[in-house]
Amino acid sequence: MPRKSTRLTFAVLATGAGVFAMLQSLIAPALPTVQHAMHTSQSTATWVMTAYLLSASVFTPILGRVGDLVGKKRTLVAVLLTVLAGCLLAALAPNIGVLIVARVVQGVGGALFPLSFGIIRDEFAPAEVSGSISNLSAVIAAGGGVGIVAAGPIVSALDYRWLFWIPVAVVAVTTLIALRFVPESPRRAEGRVNWLGAVLLSAWLVALLLPLSQAGQWGWGSVRVIGMFIAAVALFALWLLAEARSRTPLIDLRVMRLPAVWTTNTAALLFGAGMYAIWSFLPGFVQTPGSAGYGFGASVTASGLLMLPMLVAMFLSGVLSGRLEPVVGAKALLTTGAALGAVACGFLTLWHDRQWQVALVAGVFGFGIGLAFASMAQLIVGSVPAEQTGAATGMNANIRTIGGSIGAALTSVLVTGRLQPSGLPYGSGYTHGFGLLTLFCLAAALAALLVPVRHAGRATGTPRTSDASARREPEAVAPGARG
């Protein structure tokens, strides 16, 4: 049972996770401004996004596991302080090199997601867990939308550095409140951090994500890209071997093999491919001048406003999912969310000549994102032993990010593969790209259909058998492992 009021705890967790989600997308619309202000090239400026992506991918599962071992509150506060330092460094960065380093530091905040889900599971009453996870997922999803919508007005009215000064103030207050009021979770996993596993996990993630994010500039057939993909496969195999032989694995592969976990992660990979690509390319589409034969010549601020329906829909559907999950189940919500993403992308493939069409698509896709985010978290948290919550939810977030990198890279090939004499992409490139995203989201919906149905009467967060028995036989204690 909870030992303190959970409202303040939830507010702290939601603020921290929301700020990190916002930092993911906040800088993207302002990259041209940053490039001009720091007198750098476009290829160098893209590292402001790439560095953040790589850092978050590495630290999310590792620090999720650290929280399971040494205490989630202690790790949460340390991560918040790191994000604070990263935002402060970015706000004061004198050149692009320092800004990229600052973004690496900020990426540590990816661990806020698994830590927050773990604290909710440990501290909240079983009846509150499902709704709280859905509400937190809604905040996380909406945070990414806030970044896209707010970037333009902040840069126009103030300066791009305020994209970091504002989070500095918010994270500082959040850290102080967390230190004072968030209780330390009593659940601890046994063992220690498998540092060999952590190094190998970091290595194969970097070897996979770096060429995916840079292939457009390096060339898909370049030695660097092909070599890194080969290295990623080899390092992944070594990581699996090291984890299987470790007595205290970083990611328990038995847990990852649970039917409810691997099917949810598959859906996360595919849906992430569609979601991150829409976030990356839809603003660029509406900002393209009409002389290209498509687009609306919108400003950064105007393109953000066109994405506003997505932000509102993400938050509302995320909150709504908490009420619907006990009635229809998380599997149905995940399937519906992915299907809505497919409908939105399919509509966009066929009709994108009017601004209201883009706004409608943004709203429908946003509703799907809210349902999918909340249900993924519900399925993972409700299917793994309590001491594996941080590592399992961290890996789910990571797999979604990997999917996003794949989706963005493939969409970039279609959009930028053939350019007009003006240097702008052809409209057919966007049409083919949106068609690909339709297929990704449709595949995610099909994967969601494979998720086992959780047995009725077993609420998310319900205490399981002893940690020892959970570690020996995770299949026996994971509701949703069967179905």
Q: How large is the average pLDDT for residues 334-363?
A: 95
CA distance 196 to 62: 11
Q: Are 405 and 356 in contact (CB under 8 A)?
A: no
Q: How large is the average pLDDT for residues 78-97?
A: 95
Q: How large is the average pLDDT for residues 246-250?
A: 81
220 and 253 assigned to the same domain: no
50 and 182 assigned to the same domain: yes
User: Residue 140: what pLDDT?
Assistant: 83
**Domain final position from 205, 231, 247:** 247
User: Residue 449: what pLDDT?
Assistant: 96
Buried b / exposed e over 420-430, threshold 16 CB at 10 Å, is eeeebbbbebb
Average pLDDT, the chain: 85
Domain range for 467 is 6-193+248-477
Q: Are 265 and 251 in contact (CB under 8 A)?
A: no
280 and 230 assigned to the same domain: no
Question: Is 60 exceeded by the pLDDT of residue 399?
Answer: yes
28 and 146 assigned to the same domain: yes
Where does the pLDDT of residue 134 fall: very low under 50, low under 70, confident under 90, or very high at 90 and above? confident
Q: How large is the average pLDDT for residues 82-106?
A: 95
164 and 209 assigned to the same domain: no
Going by C-alpha positions, the residue among 142, 69, 82 that lies closest to residue 108 is: 82
Q: Are 402 and 208 in contact (CB under 8 A)?
A: yes
Q: What is the dihedral of CA 269, 275, 276, 278, to 10 degrees?
A: 150
- Rank 17-26, 29-38, 445-454 by mean pLDDT and report only the highest: 445-454
**Domain final position from 210, 227, 247:** 247
320-324, Cβ contacts within 8 angstroms, sequence gap of 24 or more: 320/370, 320/371, 321/134, 321/137, 321/138, 321/370, 321/371, 321/374, 321/375, 322/130, 322/131, 322/132, 322/133, 322/134, 322/135, 322/374, 323/131, 323/134
CA distance 405 to 312: 25
Question: Is 70 exceeded by the pLDDT of residue 456?
Answer: no
Backbone Cα Rg of the chain: 21
Q: How large is the average pLDDT for residues 387-410?
A: 83
Asked if residue 1 belongs to a domain, the reply is no
Buried b / exposed e over 194-226, threshold 16 CB at 10 Å, is beebbebbbbbbbbbbbbbbbbbebeeeeeebe
CA distance 278 to 328: 28
> The whole model's pTM is what?
0.80
Q: What is the pLDDT of residues 154-203, one digit of tens each?
A: 888 888 899 999 999 999 999 999 988 888 877 777 777 788 888 998 89
Q: How large is the average pLDDT for residues 410-437?
A: 89
Q: Are 384 and 474 in contact (CB under 8 A)?
A: yes
How many domains are there within the chain?
2
**Domain final position from 247, 269, 287:** 247
Q: How large is the average pLDDT for residues 69-79?
A: 91
Q: What is the pLDDT of residues 212-232, one digit of tens each?
A: 878 877 888 899 999 999 999
Is 184 in a helix, a strand, or coil? coil
Question: Is 70 exceeded by the pLDDT of residue 260?
Answer: yes
Q: What is the pLDDT of residues 353-393, one digit of tens each?
A: 999 999 999 999 999 998 998 899 889 988 888 778 877 88
Q: How large is the average pLDDT for residues 462-473?
A: 38
370 and 431 assigned to the same domain: yes
Question: Is 80 exceeded by the pLDDT of residue 424?
Answer: yes
What values do phi and psi take at 419, rounded to 5? Answer: -115, 150
Q: Are 249 and 241 in contact (CB under 8 A)?
A: no
User: Residue 458: what pLDDT?
Assistant: 43
461 and 331 assigned to the same domain: yes
363 and 450 assigned to the same domain: yes
